[in-house]
Structure 1
Amino acid sequence: MDDSTPTSLLERAAFADLADLAPAAAFIRDSDGRYLWTNHAYAHLYGLVPEEIAGKRIEDLDAPADACRFRALDQEVLSRGTPVRHSLGYRRRDGSAGRAVGHRFPVREDARTCVAGIYVDVTDHVRATVQRQEAEENLEALRDHSGLPCVLLSANGRVVEASAAAAELCRLSPHDLVGRRAHTLLAPEPGLDALHRRWNGLIARRTRRMETSAVLVDAQGWQRRARFHLTTVGHSAPRARHVWAVVTHQSLAHEALPPLTAAQIRILSLLAEGSSNGDIAASLKLSRQTVDYHLSRLRQLLGAATRPALVARAYVLGILAPRAWPPRSATAAHPLSTA
């Protein structure tokens, strides 16, 4: 074009170049449904190039039912004289159902009123949205109806979501539990520093999941040892933004008890194994009288009148690991232990 070319034609040519390379599918049809122009994105939907579509009618490219719908939309635009925004379904080249959203609007072309359209294929987006909604619904169902105490934690340890079972465990309403910092729900114990280091490793994605234990303190001040399974959410970000914490085991709730010594926990382990007082004394190189004293003291501390009751209390209070044999402490640094 030279400098004498009308500005409107220059603008039109520039727009056509832009529209031809745009990722959105665009077309212009006359009132008889004949294609006057399409861009490459539109032609690609049919496995063609724009030159192969120009001059064809709707029925030449689309199934009769689809062609009928598309003609009706064109007529609506022509009769109203205003743009129409809508979504439509169509058959993709691979035979699958597609979904597109966009506008159709009247344009003047060669002194005729024609119909132009521009659409964006949202099939993959819609499918991903539906899949995400289904996944969220399944997760909510699992969270709310499985009976498992579980919470979704932010990277800084704040409760984002909580199941009814988790709220019941803490003796709080779900509304009061959401927003709490996780450390305010834990009893102070020597193992918390190690737990914090492992948590940082989880957030930094040095590991995706871990199992740990801690002592929960409910709203009434009662304590229970709980075993947690922690799993990060998502993979794309360099640091995890959320972590699901699921309580897999929990002890009986109890008032805070005086700390047990390492020797007392070892005595409980041997007692649970079936050892006699004499066997315990020989194994720990203690006198029989010392073992008798410790067992008497343990019965007082744990509220157990007999040896079997003492073993049972040690398990339900979370002092001994519930699924370990030979019996052993539930944690290397138990909250009731100085070890």
Structure 2
Amino acid sequence: MKESDPTTLLTCLPVPWRETDGGPGVIASFADLTPAAAFVRDAAGRYLWANHAYAHLYGTTRDAVIGRHLADVDAPDDVARFLALDQEVLTQGRSVRHSLTYRRSDGSPGHAAGYRFPVRWGTGRCVAGLYVDVTDLRMLEQRRLAEEDLRTLRDHGGLPCLRLSPDGRVGEAGTAVAELLRVRLCDLIGSPADSLLARTPERRALHRIWDDLVGGRRSSARTCAVLVDGDNGQRRAEVHLSSVCRTPSRVSGVWAVLTHLGLRHAPQPPLTATQVRILALLAAGRSNADIGGTLHLSRQTVDYHLSRLRDLLGAATRPALVARAYVLGILSPQAWPPRSTAAVHPLSPV
């Protein structure tokens, strides 16, 4: 057997597996081509042998590894750590099983699991290693755990949320959103999201935002919508949208989370922009004269709008109008001066 023969790593296999000329044979070819990464280093950290799988971890070839020092291949912090592991193996004289992290050729962290063990290489005692790259397996496990956490949050967290497919259908939903919409969860899955929205100006704005999300022009958005439940009741809500990208150029879905839910009410005609501004000014304590001056309306027109708003919202007085505007979600409870929940800009009243 040659001194550099990699069959040294696999002495448990019978000698006849080698070729009779003393060169690397079946076992050598096996060690060279196995998907497990294998290497031999001397006590100083110089590579005496490595197979193709080991070189692939670093994005190079085995010929570029053999004969080089650890410091030529790994980062300084990793070099000190790996040399310490080598010395531990040589000192104890037995194999050590462990996992380790290393730096890939693209700079990303990699993870490997396997064994280091002492070997005789010629006249010297060296360290051999046999490892399997488990980076992708770890990522799959982390993804599985993240998906489990997300499902738990979706189903039991009490937060109304649903995942929509790029064509606008409900792909996943939590029990909280099914209860909110007064429908069975099995009926909600697969239904078009548009069927959950009242035909209001907010719906048209939501369509424009949706086109930007699935088109990849934006990754998240917050807007307002009026939801329609299974009993034809309505309530206003803030909708937080976040796109899910399978690749940088492909959106695989959009998560929608509903917050700041308004009071459920019977269907009613949508308010005009002028009526919403009147409600905002009314909530700020402005008089009819002030409202008319700000909106360039006559006193009679302001009185008409207020009368119309009292009928639409079922409120007999000015304070009751303001209260109803807040509980129905027309005005934002988080803004001052008062403004519409659907306002695009924080300083915009509508």
The CA deviation string for residues 76-132 of structure 1, in whole angstroms up to 9 with x for no partner, is xxxxxxxxxxxxxx43577999557xxxxxxxxxxxxxxxxxx98252233223212
Which letter maps to 1:242? G
Runs of 4+ in 1 over 6 A off after TM superposition: 13-18, 42-45, 60-65, 93-97
Gap change, CA 1:18 and 1:214, over 3 Å in 2: farther
CA contact (8 A) 1:211 1:227 kept: yes
Aligned position for 1:278: 289
Which of 311, 314, 317 is the aligned partner of 2:322?
Answer: 311
TM-score, reference length from structure 2 = 0.63
| Contact 2:198–2:228 under 8 Å retained in 1 | yes
1:246 positional shift: 0.8
Q: CA deviation at 1:194?
A: 3.8
Bigger radius of gyration among the two: 1
Equivalence for 2:98: 91
3-state SS, counterpart of residue 161 of structure 1: strand
Q: Deviations over 1:22-45 (max 9, x none)?
A: 352399xxxxxxxxxx98258889
Percent identity over the alignment is 49
8 Å Cα contact 1:222/1:255 also seen in 2: yes
Contact kept, 8 Å, 1:25 with 1:39, in 2: the verdict is: no
CA distance in 2, matches of 1:287, 1:148: 45
Give per-residue Cα distances to partners, 1:47-97, cap 9 Å, x unaligned.
998xxxxxxxxxx99978869xxxxxxxxxxxxxxxxxxxxxx43577999
1:66-105 equivalences in 2 (<5 Å): 90-92=97-99, 99=113
Mapped partners of 2:210, 2:331: distance in 1: 24
Q: Which runs of 5+ in 1 are unaligned?
A: 1-8, 28-37, 50-59, 68-89, 101-118, 334-338
CA RMSD of superposed structures (Å): 4.1
Shift in alpha-carbon separation, 1:270–1:66, aligned structure 2, 3 A: same
- Alignment partner for residue 156 of structure 2, among 145, 157, 163? 145
Whether 1:238 and 2:249 are equivalent positions in the alignment is yes
Unaligned runs of 5+ in 2: 1-18, 39-48, 67-88, 103-109, 115-129, 345-349
Q: Is the 8 A contact 2:284 2:337 kept in 1?
A: yes
Deviation, 1:185, is: 1.0
Structure 1 residue 275 displacement after superposition: 1.2
1:255 partner amino acid: A
Distance across 2 between alignment mates of 1:185 and 1:158 = 11
Whether 2:176 is the aligned partner of 1:169: answer no
* Conserved? CA contact 1:225–1:318, under 8 Å: yes
Structure 2 residue 218 is the aligned partner of structure 1 residue 207: yes
CA contact (8 A) 1:24 1:120 kept: no
Question: Which amino acid in 2 is paired with 1:218?
Answer: D
1:314 Cα deviation after fit: 1.1
Q: Deviations over 1:185-229 (max 9, x none)?
A: 111234434432322221232211111222111111111122111
Partner of 1:330: 341
